[in-house]
Amino acid sequence: MSGGQQQRVALARAIINQPKLLLLDEPMAALDKKLRRDMQIELQTLQRQLGITFVLVTHDQEEALSMSDRICILRGGKIVQVGSPRDLYDRPMNRYVADFVGKSNFFAGTVDAGGSSLTAAGHRIGGHTTQTLTAGQAASASLRPEQISLTRQPGAGISLPVQVQTRIFLGEHTEYLVKHPDLGAFLVLVPRQAEASEGGFEPGDSAHANWQDGAALILADD
């Protein structure tokens, strides 16, 4: 039997006795990407139809975000944060969670007076925080790659001159690794439509990385 068929047989055997809770330990780790997505949809459909609580253990963050109602992040055997996928993605309680769930850029610096911005390599980065921070405290500004746009001319808000290092086409998006002379390298995820309007960028091109002032999440260093 194929990997997908084996998983379906194992699942049928597990649910035949109508358990109240079903533990799934990396059930799709050996499947290819397309088959894994098909199995994810099947599992979600079954869970809703049967009303059984599924506890899914996975190291695939995308899988956890797409399948779960609630996610528990563990570190060193201890619970760090529990919440909905959107809560963990948009409002991580610390840098560890922000780095673990999805991709994020971190700009290290020190907290400014007021606690809602920091200075990194001489650049002020405005943001917001869910923590209690003090002026001068070591912290990082977290920005998701999709929060940043890439243009040929300076954009609104914060706009930094960068050089394109790499370009990876992902279908509906293109992922760029860009480099700023002071802040270093970071990722930018550009939607296909936005890239078409700018004509696209190649490694070595000069560009401007832009984001809304205040968009960054300021997090104390762990």
Task: Indicate the DSSP class of residue 18.
Answer: -
Contact 73, 101 (CB under 8 A): yes
Buried b (16+ CB within 10 A) or exposed e, 41-74: eebeeebeeeeeebebebeebebbbebbeebebe
What integer is the mean pLDDT of 172-179? Answer: 96
Identify the pLDDT of residue 3: 58
Is the predicted pLDDT of residue 4 greater than 70, yes or no?
no
Output the pLDDT for position 149: 95
| Percent of the chain residues topping a pLDDT of 90 | 51
Asked if 22 contacts 55 with a C-beta cutoff of 8 angstroms, the reply is yes
In the chain, at which residue ranges do the beta strands (DSSP E only) sit? 21-25, 53-57, 71-75, 78-83, 105-111, 117-120, 123-128, 138-143, 149-151, 158-169, 173-180, 184-191, 206-211, 216-220
* Residue 59, pLDDT score: 82
Q: What mean pLDDT value characterizes the chain? A: 89
pLDDT at 121: 93
- Reply yes or no on whether the pLDDT at 11 is more than 70: yes
Architecture of domain 105-220: Beta Barrel (2.40)
Asked whether residue 18 carries a pLDDT value surpassing 90, the answer given is no
**Does 160 or 30 have the greater pLDDT score?**
160
Quickly state the pLDDT bin for 201 (edges 50, 70, 90).
Answer: very high
* Banded model confidence at residue 162, pLDDT cuts 50, 70, 90: very high
- Residue of 146, 138, 145, 143 whose CA lies nearest to 118: 138
Predicted confidence at residue 62, as pLDDT, reads 82
Tens-place pLDDT, residues 53-102: 998 888 888 888 888 888 889 899 999 999 999 999 999 988 999 998 88
Kindly report the length of the chain: 222
List, by residue range, all CATH 2.40.50.100 domains of the chain.
Answer: 105-220
Q: Delimit the CATH 3.40.50.300 region(s) of the chain.
A: 3-101
- The per-residue pLDDT for 79 is 95
Which pLDDT value is given to residue 12? Answer: 84
Supply the pLDDT for residue 139. 93
Q: Does domain 3-101 have CATH number 3.40.50.300?
A: yes
Residue of 185 and 60 predicted with greater confidence = 185
pLDDT band of 204, cuts 50, 70, 90 = very high
Can you read off the two tokens belonging to residue 42? 């099947």
